[in-house]
Structure 1
Amino acid sequence: MSRTYVAVLGVGGVGKAFLSQLSLLPDHLRPALIFLSRSSKNIVSKDYEPIQISQYPSSLASSSSPVLKLPEVAQFLSNAPGRSIVVDNTSSQDVAEAYPSFLSKGISVVTPNKKAFSSSYGLWGDIFSAASSTNAMVYHESSVGAGLPVISTLKDLVATGDQVTRIEGVFSGTMSYLFNTFSPADNEPSGSWSEIVAKAKEAGFTEPDPRDDLNGMDVARKLTILARIAGLKVEGPTSFPVQSLIPKELESASSAEEFMSKLPDHDKDMERYKKEAKSANKVVRYVGSIDVASGAVKVGLQMVELGTPTASLRGSDNLICFYTQRYGANPLVIQGAGAGAEVTAMGVTADLLKVVERLR
């Protein structure tokens, strides 16, 4: 049985959780870790012997190895005495654009990095063209829905000849939490929009600057990826309607603090929309949808009928509905935690195991 080798880029929240999970894999399934990097440091096993995962924090901190550029990392991996895999746990656009160079050298890619698959359609084509030319593999389950089997399910539907007609759901754990709290199905008092955003920020449910969630681009990137897998040539996340929840007057706020301090001035708009939904026996959700037949993709607020899966969401769960010819009127529904370092890393680790098994 030939040995496999792995390089890991990024040791932030997801990266740390991934390395912990990697260390727990059985010896016969765990590839040899031969390269590990963060933005300003890296560890390089020049003799291709495994780096001790348990010692990586101190080894990385004390490393004096010159920081390899991405083409140098690709060359190093291509010279390994076995098949290699690069695991990109960053959200770097530069790393994403280097995927074709890795794949063209026969190095497989495993990543949760959405930017690689939701940027220009040209990059999407380059990635999969390079992979097919060398039989290298690309797995990115965690780029949509963290550890939820969203991408693999859609690929299975398409590959087995089912006709996917529509994809719809709540694709952001942050947006799910905000609207499940602001417009709950049980109509319990919920507080103002700005109060709920502030509480979510304090609890760590939003990015440090909530505008990075409220602009809708995270959901738009996920919709771009799924639309492309479904066969649509979507150019990118700015090529279809995406409703931003940042008031126009606050788009130029100089900081997250300024934004949060002025957000209460705009509560009335959200409150009006919620009351309109309630009068129609509906709730408000931030929904992404793909109409495969018409090619229409959109992201934004939607009034949702009570009793539906989307209206009944709780907490920060994601919920994705696949409407297909085989499943008829009742969609195939995937629901669960769609964010968090541990579940995202689980999706990455599961993808790594698929690649290892196929390489062997």
Structure 2
Amino acid sequence: MKVLKFGGTSVANAQNIQQTVSIILRSAEPQIVVVSALGGVTDLLIKAGTLAEQTNDGYKEVLEQLELKHLDAARALLPVTHQSSCLSMIKQQFNELDEICSSVFYLKELSLRTRDRIIGFGELLSSKIISAYLLSQQAAHEWVDSRQVIKTNSNHGFAAVNFPATNAFIQSRINQSDKKLFLAPGFIASDEQGNTTTLGRGGSDYTAAIFASAINASSLEIWTDVTGMMTADPRWVSNARTIKQISYREAMELSHFGAKVIYPPTIQPVMQKNIPTWVKNTFAPDEAGTVIEENGVHDGEMITGISSINSIALLSLEGGGMVGIPGFSKRLFESLAGEKINVILITQSSSEHSICVAVNSADAAKAKIAVDTTFEIEISSGKVEPLKLEEDLAIIALVGDKMKSHPGISGRMFGSLGRNGINIRAIAQGSSERNISAVIASADVKKGVNVLHEAFFEEVYKQVNIFVVGLGNVGSKLISQLKQQQQFLLEHLNLQVRVTGIANSRKMLFADNGNDIDLNNWQINLQQAPDMHLDAFADTIIAKNLRNSVFVDITANEAVAGIYSRLLEKSVSVVACNKIAASSAYANYSKLKSLAKEFNALYLFETNVGAGLPIIGSLNDLRRSGDQINKIQAVLSGTLNFVFNNYNGTTSFASVVKQAQDEGYTEPDPRLDLGGTDVMRKIMILAREAGEKIEMDDITNNGFLPASCFEGTVADFYAEMEKQEAHFKAIYLEAAANNCKLKFVASYENGKATVGLQHIPAHSDFYHLYGKDNIVLFYTQRYPEQPLVVKGAGAGADVTASGVFADIIRVARV
């Protein structure tokens, strides 16, 4: 004989009940079927009782709503010829329920015993209706009142079962019947006086386990609305998968730590009798589901599942007076037990200076009062500090029997959380090494579950969430490159790159939860999106709190650079094409680098110098490997190189500059390039990355533009350059007369940096530099005479976007 239990969703309405009965009747094996109340009924019964206690006659409306729900279910299920007795039973039950609530209303008191009586009606009604439906289907069966066979103490709300008496009653009832199918209400039982008791919310699972244990069932089947126990909550983790097999103890740990599929006390009775327990989906009955048994094997994974508990408070008792004095822990737990407060997690420092316990947030206030009262003398004398209370916390737990044979699990767990900016307030691990628990902020729990699921179950790929600001030439190219390479990255680098948020100066667009932005139609969707507000954009990134988040700045905007610190402090990595932050005051540059290190994020800005060329990366590799930078010489402006490569005096200097701007090589204001400001920023960034504390004022700029060119607007600038054509032609002719080319060169040596226009002879490394190319020469201890050379295209939307893309990949692969 086997036992089947069907939960609230399985019997939520007539259609679901029909599906449930079809599952019951397809088996020829004798069975006991336990059912929950119709979906949502228990909560409404609690509401009715509470309203009655508050002398709010709204309880009558709730009861009318419940009565109609049950009458509708019966009418939808039963042929007209079978309805009369069932409808009469429902009316009778609600008359009795109304009398009880009316008494509560006038007494203004809802005792735990009366509350059990009220909420027990849910399972009684559902089981009677299903019994009537079975009769209408000519399915011979016997309805068993669980209150007559399951005996408990009088601890109403969560009664303890008297197993010897219960087993005897169940065995007698089953053995005396000639039926092969039995139907019983879950959740309810009775004490020695015959008063209705309940087994705790979710207690119908427990009821089924009690029946299974009493009759030594061949199996127990828990039918619900998910296909078995999952590696994580599928509402939070889209890639959660079904656990095919799991041990009793692992299932107990997972259910205790928030896995709602099975009620925790359910495991103990079936574990004692070694009864295989299946968790299956009523709405996908042919799916295998999960089997819980003594030696559950789960695909060789070290971790079986990840679970969590929300609404946790952490209580910390600290004080020098605790050290070496026995009895503090005993008194602490006695004070909590006296208030019937359940302790969920315990951790104590080896110094004995402090002890922390986690409890439900609902118990936090009375826990503090109880503990402070218990230690009143020690607190007043300064031996112990008043109990410290921290709320808005959650517990996240890794569960698995195999953890004890695999070192490094804890490190991997805490490292994964730390890299995503999730702070751990307390940790606990049992001696069985079956569970590692960490207390974290409630706001981080969904992110934490996803981070750990990725770390332990999704080795096939790592998800990266990108937020891009700046969708001009470079930004648009980046989006195209991301779209083109998404599948390649997934297949070859195991990276799932998701564009989760985008913005330009006017609009901002975010993906819905669990999705990414449609890269085929992002321009159209962006036009219809809300207006862009930079603070709101940053707030949304922080609020989404997604794992492996990367903020990408492809602007030249100072305000955008100003939000880097906020994001880094939340462990959001920053990839910046924008040079403003890295070339700002040294104190700010240093602060951003420190924040990235402190909060386990990355701050990368390879494209600040040389677009897509690996200049900063090569410099950092030299320093990380122990080399020392002695001198840097470079042509760092693709704009200026393009201009001087194309200007020969036959067309005006202004027209060549305009061509460079039209082809996307210049800053929005070309004077930043031609005036040397952009090159100054770049050489300063390189000097800083080489270890130099340097500011813009420390750099010598030997400019070539007349002062009048810096006056007025960009249009005025072009007009003035036309007027100054003779000046530019003279500069060109002087260099040509000496068989030299003009290059705007940046240098750094002995702590000093300079930029300026130079005559470059034919033997120089800079002479054969064409188009928009950049070149950097690194003279180091390892490269003292023959420098390390990095050369290539130093401007252009495609190469700059590819440099940004490369930084994103660097972040993703950490």
- Do the two structures share a fold, i.e. TM-score over 0.5? yes
Partner of 1:231: 691
The separation in 1 between residues aligned to 2:709 and 2:495, in whole angstroms, is 50
1:307 has 2:763 as partner = yes
> Is the 8 Å Cα contact of residues 561 and 578 (structure 2) preserved in structure 1?
yes
The one-letter code matched in structure 2 to 1:283 is K
Find 1:326's aligned residue among 771, 777, 782: 782
Partner of 1:17: 477
1:4 has 2:464 as partner = yes
Secondary structure of residue in 1 paired with 2:741: strand
> Is the 8 Å Cα contact of residues 48 and 80 (structure 1) preserved in structure 2?
no
- 138-147 vs 37-46, greater mean Cα deviation: 37-46
The separation in 2 between residues aligned to 1:51 and 1:206, in whole angstroms, is 30
The one-letter code matched in structure 2 to 1:215 is G
Find 1:99's aligned residue among 546, 561, 564: 564
> Is the 8 Å Cα contact of residues 215 and 243 (structure 1) preserved in structure 2?
no
Secondary structure of residue in 1 paired with 2:703: coil
Q: 1:128 to 1:303 in 2, by over 3 A?
A: same
Partner of 2:802: 346
Q: 1:199 to 1:37 in 2, by over 3 A?
A: same
Partner of 1:128: 593
Deviation of 1:69 (Å):
3.6
Question: After superposition, what is the alpha-carbon deviation per residue over 1:271-330, rounded to whole angstroms, capped at 9, x for unaligned?
Answer: 444444445443321111111xx2110111112222212012112211111111212211
Q: 1:81 to 1:262 in 2, by over 3 A?
A: closer
Partner of 2:622: 157
The separation in 1 between residues aligned to 2:543 and 2:600, in whole angstroms, is 14
Question: After superposition, what is the alpha-carbon deviation per residue over 1:232-251, rounded to whole angstroms, capped at 9, x for unaligned?
Answer: 11123x43112333212333
Find 1:139's aligned residue among 575, 589, 604: 604
> Is the 8 Å Cα contact of residues 508 and 537 (structure 2) preserved in structure 1?
no
- Structure 1, unpaired ranges of 5+: 183-189
The separation in 2 between residues aligned to 1:82 and 1:66, in whole angstroms, is 26
RMSD between aligned residues? 2.2
Question: After superposition, what is the alpha-carbon deviation per residue over 1:239-268, rounded to whole angstroms, capped at 9, x for unaligned?
Answer: 31123332123332x344443334344344
> Is the 8 Å Cα contact of residues 467 and 550 (structure 2) preserved in structure 1?
yes
Partner of 2:633: 168
The separation in 2 between residues aligned to 1:295 and 1:335, in whole angstroms, is 24
Find 2:718's aligned residue among 260, 266, 271: 260
TM-score, length-normalised on structure 2?
0.40
- Greater relative contact order (Cα 8 A, min sep 6): structure 1 or 2? 1
> Is the 8 Å Cα contact of residues 178 and 197 (structure 1) preserved in structure 2?
no
Deviation of 1:199 (Å):
2.9
Q: 1:81 to 1:178 in 2, by over 3 A?
A: closer
Secondary structure of residue in 2 paired with 1:118: coil
Find 1:36's aligned residue among 479, 502, 518: 502
Partner of 1:187: none
Secondary structure of residue in 2 paired with 1:3: strand
Instruction: Report which of the two structures shows the higher radius of gyration computed on alpha carbons.
Output: 2
Find 1:283's aligned residue among 708, 718, 741: 741
Q: 1:30 to 1:22 in 2, by over 3 A?
A: farther
Secondary structure of residue in 1 paired with 2:700: coil
Find 1:180's aligned residue among 641, 645, 660: 645
Partner of 2:255: none
1:88 has 2:88 as partner = no
Q: 1:117 to 1:251 in 2, by over 3 A?
A: same
> Is the 8 Å Cα contact of residues 629 and 780 (structure 2) preserved in structure 1?
yes
> Is the 8 Å Cα contact of residues 201 and 208 (structure 1) preserved in structure 2?
no
> Is the 8 Å Cα contact of residues 110 and 140 (structure 1) preserved in structure 2?
yes
- 268-277 vs 294-303, greater mean Cα deviation: 268-277
TM-score, length-normalised on structure 1?
0.88
> Is the 8 Å Cα contact of residues 42 and 67 (structure 1) preserved in structure 2?
yes
Question: After superposition, what is the alpha-carbon deviation per residue over 1:191-227, rounded to whole angstroms, capped at 9, x for unaligned?
Answer: 25x7133134135254565433211111111111101
Question: 5 Å matches for 1:62-77?
Answer: 62-63=528-529, 65=530, 67-70=532-535, 73-74=538-539, 76-77=541-542
Q: 1:207 to 1:117 in 2, by over 3 A?
A: closer
The separation in 1 between residues aligned to 2:583 and 2:666, in whole angstroms, is 21
> Is the 8 Å Cα contact of residues 320 and 335 (structure 1) preserved in structure 2?
yes
Find 1:250's aligned residue among 686, 709, 715: 709
> Is the 8 Å Cα contact of residues 141 and 348 (structure 1) preserved in structure 2?
yes
Q: 1:77 to 1:179 in 2, by over 3 A?
A: same
The one-letter code matched in structure 2 to 1:11 is L
Partner of 1:185: none
- 215-224 vs 30-39, greater mean Cα deviation: 30-39
The separation in 1 between residues aligned to 2:714 and 2:507, in whole angstroms, is 30
The separation in 2 between residues aligned to 1:140 and 1:167, in whole angstroms, is 19
The separation in 2 between residues aligned to 1:84 and 1:124, in whole angstroms, is 21
1:191 has 2:657 as partner = no
Question: After superposition, what is the alpha-carbon deviation per residue over 1:105-158, rounded to whole angstroms, capped at 9, x for unaligned?
Answer: 010111211111001112101111111111111121111111111110111111
Find 1:54's aligned residue among 506, 511, 520: 520
Find 2:772's aligned residue among 297, 316, 329: 316
The separation in 1 between residues aligned to 2:535 and 2:655, in whole angstroms, is 39
Partner of 2:209: none
Deviation of 1:12 (Å):
0.9
The separation in 2 between residues aligned to 1:323 and 1:82, in whole angstroms, is 40
Q: 1:74 to 1:140 in 2, by over 3 A?
A: farther
Q: 1:142 to 1:267 in 2, by over 3 A?
A: same
Q: 1:129 to 1:314 in 2, by over 3 A?
A: same
Secondary structure of residue in 1 paired with 2:724: helix
Percent identity over the alignment? Answer: 34
The one-letter code matched in structure 2 to 1:14 is V
1:202 has 2:659 as partner = yes
The separation in 1 between residues aligned to 2:541 and 2:734, in whole angstroms, is 60
> Is the 8 Å Cα contact of residues 169 and 287 (structure 1) preserved in structure 2?
yes
The one-letter code matched in structure 2 to 1:13 is N
Secondary structure of residue in 2 paired with 1:53: coil
Secondary structure of residue in 1 paired with 2:517: coil
The separation in 2 between residues aligned to 1:50 and 1:87, in whole angstroms, is 16
> Is the 8 Å Cα contact of residues 148 and 334 (structure 1) preserved in structure 2?
yes
The one-letter code matched in structure 1 to 2:701 is V
> Is the 8 Å Cα contact of residues 675 and 705 (structure 2) preserved in structure 1?
yes
- Structure 2, unpaired ranges of 5+: 1-457
The separation in 1 between residues aligned to 2:531 and 2:520, in whole angstroms, is 22
> Is the 8 Å Cα contact of residues 85 and 107 (structure 1) preserved in structure 2?
yes
Q: 1:66 to 1:210 in 2, by over 3 A?
A: closer
The separation in 1 between residues aligned to 2:755 and 2:667, in whole angstroms, is 19
The separation in 2 between residues aligned to 1:209 and 1:101, in whole angstroms, is 28
Q: 1:265 to 1:57 in 2, by over 3 A?
A: closer
The one-letter code matched in structure 2 to 1:195 is S
Q: 1:206 to 1:33 in 2, by over 3 A?
A: closer
Q: 1:273 to 1:29 in 2, by over 3 A?
A: same
The separation in 2 between residues aligned to 1:66 and 1:344, in whole angstroms, is 27
